[in-house]
A and B are shown apart, each in its own frame.
Chain A
Amino acid sequence: MNSIFILAFEYMKIGAVAIGGGYTVIPFLYYLVDKYKWFNVSEITQMIAVSNLTPGPIGINMATFVGLKVGGLIGAALTTVAFMLPSFIIICLLSKFLKKNSENKIISNIMYGLRPAAVALISYAGLKIMNTTVFNLTKFKQTHQFFDFISLKAFILLILFFIAGLRLRKNPMILIAAAIVIGIFFTL
């Protein structure tokens, strides 16, 4: 029982410092393994794989996983709540501040610089996923074979999804559902 509270407290600290999404939590998991031996390093790899396969934010998947390992369902619930608490408080304060200062010149000029940066970060995230699923630059550098660089089946799917996506702009959830169905019947 005691270890649940220690874990929740550790996770709250992670939640207060991990900036930039779920993957930034991973180094902290290695730190937890070192300090408490609740789980081992190979379980972290398994955790990352499973978190990728399940819906929802990866950080929550991993927090639930660690919580279940250490203290069952109660442990999992406590860990996820502790993990989200710092950002919840910070975001509420930030929202309050933004609401009061939305017409502020300084804020609007900061946003003027922020927006293109946000678009760039999103583009980069897309490029990163594309580089492992459709293209494979690392393998191409080793073999110099064109079909190691581009997976033809994946590329055709990419084009099809793009056309479908343009038509499904109002309902992107259908695209995800379609991808799951295609994944069952069509082997890449």
Chain B
Amino acid sequence: MKKISLLKLFWIFFKIGLVLFGGGYAILPFLKAEMVEKENICTMEELTDYYALSQCFPGLVAGNVSMLTGYKARGVLGAFSAVFGVCLPAFLSIAAIFAFLSAITHFSVVQNIFHVLDIAVCILIVLTVLELWEFSVYDKFTTFIFIYAIVLSIFHISPFIVVITAGILGLFRHFAFPKKNEKEKADE
């Protein structure tokens, strides 16, 4: 892992903050392109862990993922640069349009752009899922957890509970079937 400057870290996350529409869910493909492929700061596995952890700690998912990635790169200052960068566009855009706000949202063109953006965000999420699939859902147990988590989400169970119970189940499986687990690890 090479060392990245704080300014560059800020700039990368500022760019990501600019294109982040529809909440933090679509942040992963951007982080992957910038932090995994271009800068080699972390692996895709780590990024997935960060994403899962971000859901069970207070704060915004996009903010938490950015801080975890930033911390991996440059410690506390890195976490600060990352979260400052990812939040600044959100702050500036609201500050800029605050005065003529109600006028903007009534333009049909604006609503249309938003609609098309939603479809693009869908695809970003689909691509993320395809990407994560191979090292996250690969045996009976992980398939079970995947289905379990989807079903819970459909019934509007809080993601907090989904993630915590999934972690506990992972741990439980380790103690309940220790040998099986080790064999699989050797196969990898």
Contacts and interface: CB of A to CB of B under 8 A. Distances in A.
A175 to B, nearest CB: 5
Contact of A118 (B51, B57, B154, B160): B51
Interface residues of B, number: 105
A46 to B, nearest CB: 7
Contacts of A106: 171, 174
Contacts of A21: 23-24, 55, 60-62
Given A55-B18, A59-B63, A111-B170, A88 B116 contact: no
Given A21-B24, A60-B60, A88-B83, A122 B118 contact: no
Identify whether the interface residues of A are mostly helix, strand, loop, or mixed.
helix
Contact of A53 (B24, B29, B114, B133): B114
Given A15-B59, A122-B125, A188-B112, A50 B101 contact: yes
6 contacts: A54-B97, A57-B63, A64-B94, A90-B58, A162-B127, A172-B30
Closest 8 CB pairs of A and B: A113-B170, A56-B90, A87-B59, A183-B113, A120-B149, A117-B166, A126-B125, A118-B52
Interface of A: 15-23, 46, 49-61, 64-65, 68, 73, 76-77, 80, 84, 86-88, 90-92, 94-95, 105-106, 109-126, 129-130, 132-134, 154, 157-158, 161-162, 165-166, 169-173, 175-180, 182-184, 186-188
